[in-house]
């Protein structure tokens, strides 16, 4: 039965969307994803090219949940990569 699988820790997967230099683009992206009920979060990133913003979706409890969110994202033209949360 499915119950015999060890339960994954909550928030095990993220979708990495990308790194952006334009804050307005990030806001647009986050609101588009919010309309799809996809939670996103961003964090500032210092790079040799200056300050950037890293955007991720999640966290998701399972890889399946992350894949479903990624499919939704791709339908509105947003690409991403699923990664296990470190």
Q: What is the pLDDT of residues 9-52, one digit of tens each?
A: 555 999 999 999 999 999 999 999 999 999 999 999 999 999 99
Q: What is the pTM of this model?
A: 0.81
Check residue 85 and give its pLDDT: 85
Sheet holding 81-84, edge to edge: 40-47, 50-60, 13-20, 81-84
User: What's the sign of the alpha-carbon dihedral 42, 44, 45, 48?
Assistant: positive
């Amino acid at each position: 039965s499915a119950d015999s699988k060890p339960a994954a820790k909550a928030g095990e997967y993220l979708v990495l969307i990308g790194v952006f230099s334009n804050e307005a683009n990030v806001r647009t992206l986050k609101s588009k994803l919010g309309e799809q009920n996809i939670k996103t979060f961003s964090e500032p990133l210092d790079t040799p090219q200056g300050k950037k913003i890293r955007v991720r979706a999640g966290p998701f409890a399972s890889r399946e949940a992350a894949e479903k969110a990624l499919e939704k994202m791709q339908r509105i033209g947003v690409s991403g990569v699923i990664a296990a949360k470190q």
